[in-house]
Structure 1
Amino acid sequence: MSRRNLYFFLLILAVVIPVALALWFTIERGPAKLAFKEKTFSSLKGWGADDQSEAFVAFLKSCQTLTAKPALGIPERFQTVGYVLAFAEVCRVADEGKGAFTASGAAARTFFEEYFTPYQLKVGRKKLGQLTGYYEPLLEASLRPDPGYPVPLYLNPDDQITIDLGKFRDSLKGTTLTGRLEGDELVPYYSREEIEGGALAGQGLEFIWVKDPINAFFLQVQGSGRAKLPDGSFIGIGYAGKNGHTYTSIGRVMVEEGIMELEDVSLQTIRAWLEDNPDQLERMLNQNASYVFFRPLEDGAGPFGKSEAALTPGRSLAIDPRFIPLGLPLWIAGEKPSLTNPAEDNEAFNQLLIAQDVGGAIKGELRADVFWGFGENAEILAGHMNHEGAFYLLIPKTVSLEN
């Protein structure tokens, strides 16, 4: 073989072999799946130091809503009669013994240890997941149109059509499509830009008007909040639905555009940039085509998660229900921002939480969002939390898992 032919032969090998290997890994092995590794409670970092009575109360709230809707938020691998019956049984035990189990953190811990088995979640070699936070923002608003309150919030429109694609193809289970009819054709529902441009005006869907467009946007990101009215009274604002468009993080857009570095992105830095660049505000907010619709709540009621249970600060968790069942407890071993210096310092976060909510940005096996509640501290924690942590799912002991 001539030197020239040898050169071309080696060049072809250099191109073909990596492609062939990539195809082999994709076709033969496929993507790594969520695996469950059984653990003991004594191996969970900080397990004995956590006051789990708060988590028990949150768990009981989920029991009260989910046992009435056993099919809500259950991933495919848990869609068995055995799991549904096991969850109902631990809920029955919790309800009957709630007086004793809420007496102390130790009593609640006994309940979880007796009726659950902890499993560490991992995907391939990846054992740590991403933890972020969310909270209830406070907005200034009016129940009547007013030039000082220019941003309307909308009720869920009646012309939305949501299709469960899993009914048409097994590979699309858990996937929905939201649109509207335009003649005989189903088209995507209005985007954020179209809605802000008046696509829903004149339909009587406005129920409250907000003073600040930036606060209105962050309310949509958080999913619920509270509004202070001109007379000093308050009203709760709860999640009602969304337009079906994919959520886009404007923080990530800012990184891609070179506006800030990834490590500098937080709710606080994003807000500061938007306030300092009013000429870019509309363009930047419209990068996120996803739009959330709301409903009024009595002040003090809720907020409510996807499980329809009222959320508990520091104990409620938003997860991806394609992988983790709503209602189950999770032990999180990681870190959270320090309240004294949240941009620089962290502290241990080893705590039992309950999967009670979902979120547009919460996608993936090892992804979760901690609900921090209402107030300044909640905003600090939610705004700065972007940490890694180990996830341990507590599953009723009578449920058999096969990886």
Structure 2
Amino acid sequence: MRGWVRGLLLPLTLVSCTPVLAKSKGPGSEVVAGTFQTPTRLAQAQEVPKFVDDLDFTWLETAVLRQLARFEKKHLTGFIYYGQDKYPLSRVVESLELLSDLARQYKTCLSVDSKIECQTRFHQQVIGGFNIYVPHLAPKDPRYEEKETTFFTGYYTPLIKVTDRPHPDYPHAIHSRPPKGAFSKATRVEIDFDHVLRNSGTEMFFAKDLFDLYIMHVEGGGKVEVQGGGGKESYYLSYDGTNKQSFRFISRYMMEKGYIQDRSNASQHQFLLENPDKQREIYEYCPSYVFFKITSTPPLGSDGVPLTDNRSIATDSDLYRFKGGLAFVSSYRPEEGQGEAEERANTIKYRPYSRFVLDQDTGGAIKGKSRVDLYWGEGDYASFAAHNSSHFGNIFWLIKK
């Protein structure tokens, strides 16, 4: 889950029959019953896109297998509506299995036929095998009757160098969730500047830079690389709750005060480094604080499934309550080979993309029928793409006929 942006989940709005999750007799399994709704309608013929995966299905099998492993721990006895059509939840599982099979056929096709021929055949197979749905927008909804109905942003897994004990160069603690009590709701300033959690048993690692911690909070997870000793060890950190305080981007405050001229991470970080006397004032604007836990996999989505680079998305859990659904998205991403210079000069070049994704996450800032946050993964490009993804596009929901 994505930190206080992704992790501050609001109370769920119940629609129609209320889905039920209950523990079954099997260890670690759940019974998922009831009926789930989605704010969708059947796509019209002219709305159906060309189903071309710009990644040639790289990482898709990983995402599907991770989701199927989660479904295996559930007893899916309920139903889900796409548009006016009612499907058993087991059909979602069958949809993932069908897409995986078609992707394998596509890869086999490439060994004997041209890419265009294989793409055409794959598209026809998708049309023949799936019912396709789009967000059902009303006149009051953003992007109603627009060609591109969906607003896309992005997130990623930041990498931070840390130590496993306090060090003069690494003074800032990364905290696990404290027990309920006086300090479980301590503010960011109280934790990072007044050190109210020092020696509380919650200090996991120590970072060099507070801004790195802030970014990991925004993203709701990260990867840490422990410095020193005989070698470098790395760990994934996943979201494990917040201090229940309000979230506000510090970039907004810095812009309002005239400290920076743009909202780029580079500008924020540079000002903070050059003005240490302003740091407490600036971070006080965002009292929310995220706690973490060590996981053996990349950060987990809202249903406990490890996120997969370029294949996991987050949607509004008030509207898309059942996680693991199959979708196809199209929007725009930054071209490779760009960086801080283009970001500062506002000259970033973009290119279209389209790919199959799984709805595996959610977040407090992801609101609306046609709102998507794409997980870009790890590394420099993932960081750049996540920070510079803010475009319209489309989402199509697919379920096996």
Indicate the structure (1 or 2) with the bigger Cα radius of gyration.
1
- Structure 1 residues 368, 258: CA separation in 2 closer, same or farther (over 3 Å shift)? farther
Q: Which one of the candidate residues 322, 325, 329 is aligned to 2:326? A: 329
CA contact (8 A) 1:330 1:353 kept: yes
d(CA) in 2 for partners of 1:93 and 1:335? Answer: 26
CA contact (8 A) 1:56 1:102 kept: no
Which residue is 1:131 aligned to? 152
Query: Offset of 1:204 from its aligned partner?
Result: 0.6
CA contact (8 A) 1:119 1:394 kept: no
CA contact (8 A) 1:336 1:349 kept: yes
Q: Does 1:199 align with 2:196?
A: yes
Q: Does 1:155 align with 2:176?
A: yes
d(CA) in 2 for partners of 1:113 and 1:55? Answer: 20
Q: Does 1:143 align with 2:164?
A: yes
SS in 1 for 2:88: helix
- Structure 1 residues 49, 223: CA separation in 2 closer, same or farther (over 3 Å shift)? closer
CA contact (8 A) 2:39 2:319 kept: no
d(CA) in 1 for partners of 2:75 and 2:288? Answer: 29
CA contact (8 A) 1:149 1:209 kept: yes
Question: Once the two structures are superposed, what CA deviation does each residue of 1:149-208 show, in whole Å capped at 9, x if it has no partner?
Answer: 11111112231xxxxxxxxxxxxxxxxxxxx5x6xxxx9922222222233233211111
Q: Does 1:281 align with 2:279?
A: yes
SS in 1 for 2:216: helix
CA contact (8 A) 2:313 2:358 kept: yes
| Normalised TM-score (structure 1) | 0.70
Question: Once the two structures are superposed, what CA deviation does each residue of 1:76-120 show, in whole Å capped at 9, x if it has no partner?
Answer: 9969xx96x723233156459956654536698646862442223
Q: Which one of the candidate residues 27, 46, 52 is aligned to 1:48? A: 52
CA contact (8 A) 2:160 2:225 kept: yes
Query: Offset of 1:142 from its aligned partner?
Result: 1.0
CA contact (8 A) 1:58 1:354 kept: yes
Q: Which one of the candidate residues 194, 205, 208 is aligned to 2:205? A: 208
d(CA) in 2 for partners of 1:282 and 1:350? Answer: 42
- Structure 1 residues 390, 380: CA separation in 2 closer, same or farther (over 3 Å shift)? same
CA contact (8 A) 1:130 1:386 kept: yes
Query: Offset of 1:313 from its aligned partner?
Result: 1.0
CA contact (8 A) 1:149 1:210 kept: yes
CA contact (8 A) 1:37 1:121 kept: yes
CA contact (8 A) 2:298 2:306 kept: yes
Query: Offset of 1:260 from its aligned partner?
Result: 4.4
Which residue is 2:4 aligned to? none
Structure 1 gaps of 5+ residues are: 1-33, 160-179, 398-403
SS in 1 for 2:310: coil
Aligned pairs, number? 329
d(CA) in 2 for partners of 1:92 and 1:36? Answer: 20
Query: Offset of 1:68 from its aligned partner?
Result: 3.2
Which residue is 2:34 aligned to? none
SS in 2 for 1:363: coil
CA contact (8 A) 2:222 2:299 kept: yes
- Compare 343-352 and 94-103 and name the one that shifted more: 94-103
d(CA) in 2 for partners of 1:288 and 1:70? Answer: 41
d(CA) in 1 for partners of 2:171 and 2:292? Answer: 17
Question: Once the two structures are superposed, what CA deviation does each residue of 1:47-99 show, in whole Å capped at 9, x if it has no partner?
Answer: 2354346445424422322463579xx9x9969xx96x723233156459956
Query: Which residue identity lines up with residue 312 of structure 1 in the other structure?
Result: T
CA contact (8 A) 1:62 1:308 kept: no
d(CA) in 1 for partners of 2:166 and 2:316? Answer: 37
Structure 2 gaps of 5+ residues are: 1-37, 108-118, 144-148
Q: Does 1:393 align with 2:364?
A: no
Q: Which one of the candidate residues 380, 384, 392 is aligned to 1:380? A: 384
Query: Offset of 1:220 from its aligned partner?
Result: 1.0
d(CA) in 2 for partners of 1:329 and 1:373? Answer: 19
Which residue is 1:243 aligned to? 243
- Structure 1 residues 62, 121: CA separation in 2 closer, same or farther (over 3 Å shift)? farther
Q: Which one of the candidate residues 219, 222, 240 is aligned to 1:222? A: 219
- Structure 1 residues 103, 291: CA separation in 2 closer, same or farther (over 3 Å shift)? farther
CA contact (8 A) 2:327 2:359 kept: yes
Which residue is 1:10 aligned to? none
Which residue is 1:12 aligned to? none
SS in 1 for 2:251: helix
| Normalised TM-score (structure 2) | 0.71
Q: Could you say what the CA RMSD is over the residues aligned between the two structures, in angstroms?
A: 3.4
Query: Which residue identity lines up with residue 274 of structure 1 in the other structure?
Result: L
d(CA) in 1 for partners of 2:337 and 2:151? Answer: 22
Query: Offset of 1:323 from its aligned partner?
Result: 1.4
Which residue is 2:132 aligned to? 117
CA contact (8 A) 2:92 2:325 kept: no
CA contact (8 A) 2:241 2:290 kept: yes
Query: Offset of 1:271 from its aligned partner?
Result: 2.4
SS in 2 for 1:149: coil
- Structure 1 residues 67, 290: CA separation in 2 closer, same or farther (over 3 Å shift)? farther
SS in 2 for 1:48: coil
Query: Offset of 1:35 from its aligned partner?
Result: 4.9
d(CA) in 2 for partners of 1:102 and 1:156? Answer: 43
CA contact (8 A) 1:121 1:391 kept: no
Which residue is 2:337 aligned to? 340
Question: Once the two structures are superposed, what CA deviation does each residue of 1:257-312 show, in whole Å capped at 9, x if it has no partner?
Answer: 34445xx32333332332333222222122112211111234xx222211211111
Which residue is 2:92 aligned to? 90
SS in 2 for 1:148: coil
CA contact (8 A) 1:193 1:289 kept: yes
CA contact (8 A) 2:96 2:326 kept: no
- 1:13-92 to structure 2, matched below 5 A, reads 35-39=39-43, 43-50=47-54, 51-52=56-57, 54-55=59-60, 57-66=62-71, 68-69=73-74, 86-92=88-94
